[in-house]
């Protein structure tokens, strides 16, 4: 997942990473 790799590259802004990961996890749950 390239998008996930890009998100992991934003570690400098932990808050943004956490927010994006939360949204990504919610999106993935919809496809399971």
Q: How confident is the model at residue 32 (pLDDT cuts 50, 70, 90)?
A: confident
* Domain ranges for the chain: 2-26
Cα–Cα distances in Å, from 28 out to 5, 12, 31?
A: 15, 24, 5
Q: What is the pLDDT of residues 16-25, one digit of tens each?
A: 778 888 898 9
Cα–Cα distances in Å, from 3 out to 14, 20, 29?
A: 16, 10, 16
What is the pTM for the complete model shown?
0.42
């Amino acid at each position: 997942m390239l998008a996930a790799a890009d998100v992991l590259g934003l570690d400098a802004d932990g808050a943004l990473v956490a927010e994006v990961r939360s949204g990504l996890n919610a999106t993935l749950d919809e496809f399971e």
